[in-house]
Amino acid sequence: MGDPVVEARRELEEVAGLDAAALHAAADEPATPRAADALEALVRRRRAGEPLQYVLGSWAFRGIDVLVDRRVLIPRPETEVLAEVAIAEAARLGLRVGRPDPWATTTPEAVVCDLGTGSGAVALALAAALPDVQVWATDVSADALAVARANLAGSGGAAVRVRLAAGSWFAALPAALAGRVHLVVSNPPYVREDEFAALPPEVRDWEPVEALVSGPTGMEAVAEILTDASRWLSRPGTVVLEVAAERAEDAAALARRLAYERVELHPDLAGRPRVLVAASGGRGRSSSRPSRDGPAGPR
Protein backbone atom coordinates (compact mmCIF):
# COMPACT_ATOMS: atom_id res chain seq x y z
CA MET A 1 0.00 0.00 0.00
CA GLY A 2 1.21 3.51 -0.79
CA ASP A 3 1.11 6.64 1.34
CA PRO A 4 -2.57 7.03 2.46
CA VAL A 5 -2.43 10.84 2.22
CA VAL A 6 -1.09 10.71 -1.34
CA GLU A 7 -3.68 8.08 -2.25
CA ALA A 8 -6.55 10.08 -0.73
CA ARG A 9 -5.42 13.12 -2.70
CA ARG A 10 -5.41 11.10 -5.93
CA GLU A 11 -8.95 9.89 -5.18
CA LEU A 12 -10.07 13.47 -4.50
CA GLU A 13 -8.53 14.65 -7.77
CA GLU A 14 -10.36 11.86 -9.56
CA VAL A 15 -13.83 12.68 -8.21
CA ALA A 16 -13.30 16.44 -8.53
CA GLY A 17 -11.97 16.06 -12.06
CA LEU A 18 -9.10 18.41 -11.15
CA ASP A 19 -5.34 18.07 -11.26
CA ALA A 20 -3.25 18.55 -8.11
CA ALA A 21 -2.72 22.30 -8.61
CA ALA A 22 -6.39 23.02 -9.38
CA LEU A 23 -7.51 20.93 -6.40
CA HIS A 24 -5.17 22.89 -4.14
CA ALA A 25 -6.61 26.16 -5.46
CA ALA A 26 -10.16 24.90 -4.85
CA ALA A 27 -9.40 23.49 -1.39
CA ASP A 28 -11.80 25.86 0.43
CA GLU A 29 -14.79 25.13 -1.79
CA PRO A 30 -17.36 22.72 -0.35
CA ALA A 31 -17.75 19.38 -2.11
CA THR A 32 -21.07 18.67 -3.81
CA PRO A 33 -23.07 15.77 -2.32
CA ARG A 34 -22.50 13.89 -5.57
CA ALA A 35 -18.72 14.29 -5.34
CA ALA A 36 -18.82 13.21 -1.68
CA ASP A 37 -20.75 10.04 -2.64
CA ALA A 38 -18.33 9.30 -5.46
CA LEU A 39 -15.36 9.73 -3.12
CA GLU A 40 -16.95 7.45 -0.56
CA ALA A 41 -17.41 4.76 -3.22
CA LEU A 42 -13.72 4.96 -4.20
CA VAL A 43 -12.59 4.83 -0.58
CA ARG A 44 -14.81 1.79 0.04
CA ARG A 45 -13.23 -0.07 -2.88
CA ARG A 46 -9.72 0.85 -1.73
CA ARG A 47 -10.48 -0.28 1.81
CA ALA A 48 -11.58 -3.64 0.42
CA GLY A 49 -8.01 -4.05 -0.85
CA GLU A 50 -8.50 -3.12 -4.51
CA PRO A 51 -5.32 -1.55 -5.95
CA LEU A 52 -5.42 2.25 -6.21
CA GLN A 53 -4.84 2.09 -9.97
CA TYR A 54 -8.01 0.02 -10.54
CA VAL A 55 -9.98 2.26 -8.20
CA LEU A 56 -8.90 5.34 -10.16
CA GLY A 57 -9.41 3.50 -13.46
CA SER A 58 -6.27 4.83 -15.11
CA TRP A 59 -2.54 5.12 -14.52
CA ALA A 60 0.30 7.00 -16.19
CA PHE A 61 2.89 5.04 -18.14
CA ARG A 62 5.76 7.10 -19.57
CA GLY A 63 3.48 10.14 -19.55
CA ILE A 64 0.61 8.33 -21.27
CA ASP A 65 -2.66 7.91 -19.35
CA VAL A 66 -3.68 4.28 -19.66
CA LEU A 67 -7.08 2.87 -18.67
CA VAL A 68 -6.68 -0.07 -16.30
CA ASP A 69 -9.09 -2.45 -14.66
CA ARG A 70 -9.10 -6.04 -13.42
CA ARG A 71 -8.78 -7.39 -16.95
CA VAL A 72 -5.17 -6.19 -17.26
CA LEU A 73 -1.96 -6.00 -15.29
CA ILE A 74 -1.24 -2.58 -13.80
CA PRO A 75 1.76 -1.12 -15.67
CA ARG A 76 4.80 -1.11 -13.37
CA PRO A 77 7.77 1.29 -13.05
CA GLU A 78 10.16 -1.53 -14.08
CA THR A 79 8.18 -1.87 -17.29
CA GLU A 80 8.97 1.78 -18.02
CA VAL A 81 12.61 0.63 -17.92
CA LEU A 82 11.71 -2.16 -20.38
CA ALA A 83 10.22 0.44 -22.74
CA GLU A 84 13.23 2.71 -22.32
CA VAL A 85 15.69 -0.09 -23.11
CA ALA A 86 13.55 -1.15 -26.09
CA ILE A 87 13.60 2.41 -27.48
CA ALA A 88 17.39 2.55 -27.08
CA GLU A 89 17.65 -0.80 -28.90
CA ALA A 90 15.40 0.51 -31.68
CA ALA A 91 17.77 3.47 -32.08
CA ARG A 92 20.69 1.03 -32.23
CA LEU A 93 18.88 -0.77 -35.05
CA GLY A 94 18.77 2.52 -36.93
CA LEU A 95 15.11 3.34 -36.24
CA ARG A 96 14.39 7.02 -35.70
CA VAL A 97 13.47 8.15 -32.18
CA GLY A 98 11.52 11.38 -31.79
CA ARG A 99 8.64 13.28 -33.30
CA PRO A 100 6.72 12.09 -36.33
CA ASP A 101 7.53 13.63 -39.70
CA PRO A 102 4.39 15.70 -40.48
CA TRP A 103 5.09 15.35 -44.23
CA ALA A 104 5.46 11.55 -44.20
CA THR A 105 3.13 9.94 -46.71
CA THR A 106 4.25 6.32 -46.63
CA THR A 107 3.22 3.57 -44.22
CA PRO A 108 6.12 2.72 -41.91
CA GLU A 109 7.90 -0.49 -42.86
CA ALA A 110 9.87 -1.12 -39.69
CA VAL A 111 8.00 -3.56 -37.44
CA VAL A 112 8.02 -3.70 -33.66
CA CYS A 113 5.97 -6.23 -31.65
CA ASP A 114 4.72 -5.94 -28.09
CA LEU A 115 3.79 -9.50 -27.18
CA GLY A 116 1.36 -9.83 -24.26
CA THR A 117 0.34 -6.19 -24.51
CA GLY A 118 -2.24 -6.19 -21.67
CA SER A 119 -3.43 -2.58 -21.37
CA GLY A 120 -1.38 -1.65 -24.46
CA ALA A 121 0.87 0.62 -22.37
CA VAL A 122 4.16 -0.61 -23.83
CA ALA A 123 2.85 -0.62 -27.41
CA LEU A 124 1.60 2.96 -27.05
CA ALA A 125 4.89 4.11 -25.50
CA LEU A 126 6.85 2.49 -28.35
CA ALA A 127 4.60 4.00 -31.02
CA ALA A 128 4.91 7.43 -29.38
CA ALA A 129 8.72 7.30 -29.25
CA LEU A 130 9.36 5.60 -32.62
CA PRO A 131 7.58 7.62 -35.31
CA ASP A 132 8.58 5.40 -38.24
CA VAL A 133 7.44 2.01 -36.97
CA GLN A 134 4.35 -0.11 -37.17
CA VAL A 135 3.66 -1.70 -33.77
CA TRP A 136 1.90 -5.04 -33.47
CA ALA A 137 0.38 -5.49 -30.02
CA THR A 138 -0.77 -9.02 -29.22
CA ASP A 139 -2.40 -10.86 -26.36
CA VAL A 140 -3.97 -14.25 -25.76
CA SER A 141 -6.61 -12.66 -23.52
CA ALA A 142 -9.68 -11.23 -25.27
CA ASP A 143 -10.38 -9.20 -22.13
CA ALA A 144 -6.94 -7.60 -22.24
CA LEU A 145 -7.30 -6.81 -25.93
CA ALA A 146 -10.61 -5.05 -25.19
CA VAL A 147 -8.81 -2.77 -22.72
CA ALA A 148 -5.93 -2.22 -25.16
CA ARG A 149 -8.47 -1.33 -27.88
CA ALA A 150 -10.07 1.28 -25.60
CA ASN A 151 -6.63 2.72 -24.86
CA LEU A 152 -5.75 2.95 -28.55
CA ALA A 153 -9.07 4.64 -29.27
CA GLY A 154 -8.45 7.19 -26.54
CA SER A 155 -4.86 7.97 -27.49
CA GLY A 156 -5.04 9.31 -31.06
CA GLY A 157 -1.80 10.30 -32.80
CA ALA A 158 0.72 7.51 -32.57
CA ALA A 159 -1.98 4.93 -31.75
CA VAL A 160 -2.95 4.77 -35.43
CA ARG A 161 0.33 2.89 -35.98
CA VAL A 162 -0.56 0.21 -33.42
CA ARG A 163 -2.37 -2.93 -34.60
CA LEU A 164 -3.90 -5.42 -32.21
CA ALA A 165 -3.83 -9.18 -32.78
CA ALA A 166 -5.16 -12.11 -30.74
CA GLY A 167 -3.19 -15.30 -30.14
CA SER A 168 -0.44 -16.98 -28.21
CA TRP A 169 2.86 -15.10 -28.58
CA PHE A 170 4.05 -15.13 -32.22
CA ALA A 171 1.04 -17.17 -33.40
CA ALA A 172 -0.94 -13.92 -33.28
CA LEU A 173 1.16 -12.37 -36.06
CA PRO A 174 0.40 -12.66 -39.78
CA ALA A 175 2.76 -15.13 -41.50
CA ALA A 176 3.96 -12.35 -43.80
CA LEU A 177 5.84 -10.79 -40.86
CA ALA A 178 8.18 -13.79 -40.52
CA GLY A 179 11.77 -12.53 -40.84
CA ARG A 180 10.60 -8.89 -40.88
CA VAL A 181 10.28 -7.94 -37.21
CA HIS A 182 13.02 -5.55 -36.12
CA LEU A 183 12.24 -5.53 -32.43
CA VAL A 184 10.30 -7.95 -30.21
CA VAL A 185 9.38 -6.45 -26.84
CA SER A 186 7.54 -8.31 -24.11
CA ASN A 187 6.75 -8.25 -20.43
CA PRO A 188 5.56 -11.86 -20.26
CA PRO A 189 4.27 -13.67 -17.17
CA TYR A 190 7.30 -14.85 -15.18
CA VAL A 191 6.04 -15.87 -11.73
CA ARG A 192 6.51 -19.56 -10.82
CA GLU A 193 3.31 -21.43 -9.93
CA ASP A 194 4.59 -22.12 -6.41
CA GLU A 195 5.41 -18.42 -5.91
CA PHE A 196 1.85 -17.27 -6.60
CA ALA A 197 0.46 -17.84 -3.09
CA ALA A 198 3.21 -15.65 -1.58
CA LEU A 199 2.52 -12.63 -3.81
CA PRO A 200 1.18 -9.51 -2.01
CA PRO A 201 -2.64 -9.82 -1.70
CA GLU A 202 -3.14 -6.65 -3.77
CA VAL A 203 -1.47 -8.44 -6.67
CA ARG A 204 -2.58 -12.03 -6.05
CA ASP A 205 -6.25 -11.29 -5.37
CA TRP A 206 -6.83 -8.60 -7.99
CA GLU A 207 -4.56 -8.83 -11.02
CA PRO A 208 -5.19 -11.45 -13.75
CA VAL A 209 -3.40 -14.68 -12.90
CA GLU A 210 -2.58 -15.37 -16.56
CA ALA A 211 -0.71 -12.06 -16.67
CA LEU A 212 1.44 -13.11 -13.72
CA VAL A 213 2.07 -16.86 -13.68
CA SER A 214 4.07 -18.53 -16.42
CA GLY A 215 4.17 -22.17 -15.22
CA PRO A 216 6.14 -24.48 -12.92
CA THR A 217 9.53 -22.89 -13.65
CA GLY A 218 8.53 -19.26 -14.30
CA MET A 219 10.69 -19.45 -17.44
CA GLU A 220 8.14 -20.97 -19.84
CA ALA A 221 7.00 -17.78 -21.57
CA VAL A 222 10.50 -16.25 -21.68
CA ALA A 223 11.90 -19.46 -23.19
CA GLU A 224 9.13 -19.72 -25.77
CA ILE A 225 9.58 -16.11 -26.92
CA LEU A 226 13.39 -16.33 -27.06
CA THR A 227 13.24 -19.63 -28.96
CA ASP A 228 10.56 -18.69 -31.49
CA ALA A 229 11.80 -15.14 -32.12
CA SER A 230 14.50 -16.34 -34.54
CA ARG A 231 11.85 -17.15 -37.14
CA TRP A 232 10.30 -13.67 -36.90
CA LEU A 233 13.26 -11.36 -36.39
CA SER A 234 14.84 -9.46 -39.25
CA ARG A 235 18.64 -9.43 -39.29
CA PRO A 236 19.73 -7.47 -37.41
CA GLY A 237 16.90 -7.89 -34.96
CA THR A 238 16.52 -7.70 -31.20
CA VAL A 239 14.42 -9.16 -28.41
CA VAL A 240 13.89 -7.10 -25.25
CA LEU A 241 12.19 -8.91 -22.35
CA GLU A 242 11.27 -8.07 -18.80
CA VAL A 243 12.39 -10.96 -16.59
CA ALA A 244 12.28 -11.95 -12.92
CA ALA A 245 15.44 -10.75 -11.14
CA GLU A 246 15.98 -14.23 -9.63
CA ARG A 247 15.93 -15.85 -13.07
CA ALA A 248 17.60 -13.09 -15.08
CA GLU A 249 20.93 -14.94 -15.32
CA ASP A 250 19.11 -18.12 -16.43
CA ALA A 251 17.32 -16.13 -19.13
CA ALA A 252 20.63 -14.60 -20.29
CA ALA A 253 22.26 -18.05 -20.35
CA LEU A 254 19.37 -19.40 -22.42
CA ALA A 255 19.71 -16.52 -24.89
CA ARG A 256 23.42 -17.31 -25.28
CA ARG A 257 22.68 -21.01 -25.83
CA LEU A 258 20.19 -19.96 -28.51
CA ALA A 259 23.11 -18.17 -30.24
CA TYR A 260 21.98 -14.57 -29.82
CA GLU A 261 25.13 -12.57 -30.52
CA ARG A 262 24.73 -9.79 -27.94
CA VAL A 263 23.14 -10.65 -24.61
CA GLU A 264 22.78 -8.02 -21.88
CA LEU A 265 20.92 -7.54 -18.63
CA HIS A 266 19.80 -4.05 -17.62
CA PRO A 267 18.87 -3.04 -14.06
CA ASP A 268 15.54 -1.68 -12.88
CA LEU A 269 15.32 1.44 -10.71
CA ALA A 270 16.29 -0.65 -7.66
CA GLY A 271 19.41 -1.98 -9.41
CA ARG A 272 18.09 -5.53 -9.92
CA PRO A 273 18.64 -7.18 -13.33
CA ARG A 274 15.18 -7.01 -14.90
CA VAL A 275 15.49 -6.38 -18.63
CA LEU A 276 17.12 -8.85 -21.02
CA VAL A 277 18.39 -7.77 -24.43
CA ALA A 278 19.13 -10.55 -26.92
CA ALA A 279 20.29 -9.29 -30.30
CA SER A 280 21.02 -11.15 -33.52
CA GLY A 281 22.71 -10.30 -36.77
CA GLY A 282 24.69 -7.32 -35.56
CA ARG A 283 28.14 -6.84 -34.16
CA GLY A 284 28.81 -6.37 -30.46
CA ARG A 285 30.21 -8.02 -27.40
CA SER A 286 28.11 -10.41 -25.31
CA SER A 287 27.82 -9.46 -21.66
CA SER A 288 25.51 -10.42 -18.80
CA ARG A 289 26.69 -7.66 -16.46
CA PRO A 290 23.98 -5.14 -15.63
CA SER A 291 24.96 -1.81 -17.21
CA ARG A 292 25.43 0.41 -14.17
CA ASP A 293 24.84 3.60 -16.15
CA GLY A 294 21.47 2.32 -17.28
CA PRO A 295 20.43 2.11 -20.87
CA ALA A 296 21.22 5.03 -23.17
CA GLY A 297 17.59 5.98 -23.67
CA PRO A 298 16.30 9.17 -25.24
CA ARG A 299 14.72 10.42 -22.00
Ligand X SMILES: C[S@@+](CC[C@H](N)C(=O)[O-])C[C@H]1O[C@@H](n2cnc3c(N)ncnc32)[C@H](O)[C@@H]1O
Residues 47-66 that bind ligand X (CB under 6 A): none
Helix, coil or strand: residue 113: strand
CB contact set of 69 (below 8 Å; sequence gap of 6+): 54, 57, 147
Q: Does 75 bind ligand X (CB under 6 A)?
A: yes
Interface pattern 130-149 for ligand X (x via CB under 6 A): --------xxxx--x-----
Alpha-carbon distance of 119 to 61, in angstroms, equals: 10
H-run or E-run covering 273: strand 273-280
Of 210, 220, 249, 261, the one binding ligand X by CB under 6 A: 210
- The distance of closest approach from Cβ of residue 72 to ligand X in the complex, given in angstroms and rounded to an integer, is 6
- The distance of closest approach from Cβ of residue 84 to ligand X in the complex, given in angstroms and rounded to an integer, is 13
Q: Does 14 bind ligand X (CB under 6 A)?
A: no
- The distance of closest approach from Cβ of residue 189 to ligand X in the complex, given in angstroms and rounded to an integer, is 5
* CB-based burial, 207-224: b 16+ in 10 Å, e otherwise: bbeebbbbeeebbbbbbb
Q: Does 232 bind ligand X (CB under 6 A)?
A: no
Q: Does 166 bind ligand X (CB under 6 A)?
A: no
- The distance of closest approach from Cβ of residue 108 to ligand X in the complex, given in angstroms and rounded to an integer, is 21
Total residues binding ligand X (CB under 6 A): 23
Helix, coil or strand: residue 37: helix
**For the chain, how big is the Rg over CA atoms in Å?**
20
Q: Does 168 bind ligand X (CB under 6 A)?
A: yes
Q: Does 187 bind ligand X (CB under 6 A)?
A: yes
The residue among 81 and 95 lying less far from ligand X, judged by its C-beta, is 81
Instruction: Give the number of other CB atoms < 10 A from CB of residue 65.
Output: 14
Q: Does 122 bind ligand X (CB under 6 A)?
A: yes
- The distance of closest approach from Cβ of residue 207 to ligand X in the complex, given in angstroms and rounded to an integer, is 9
Q: Does 188 bind ligand X (CB under 6 A)?
A: yes
HEC states along 205-266? CCCCHHHHEEECCCCHHHHHHHHHHHHHEEEEEEEEEECCHHHHHHHHHHHHHCCCCEEEEE
Answer whether the bond into residue 236 is a cis peptide, omega within 30°. yes
Q: Does 73 bind ligand X (CB under 6 A)?
A: yes
Of 87, 158, 211, 248, the one binding ligand X by CB under 6 A: 211
Cα torsion angle, 86, 92, 93, 99, sign: positive
Of 46, 54, 84, 118, the one binding ligand X by CB under 6 A: 118
Which residues would be at the binding site for ligand X (CB under 6 A)? 72-73, 75, 79, 115-119, 121-122, 138-141, 144, 168-169, 187-189, 210-211
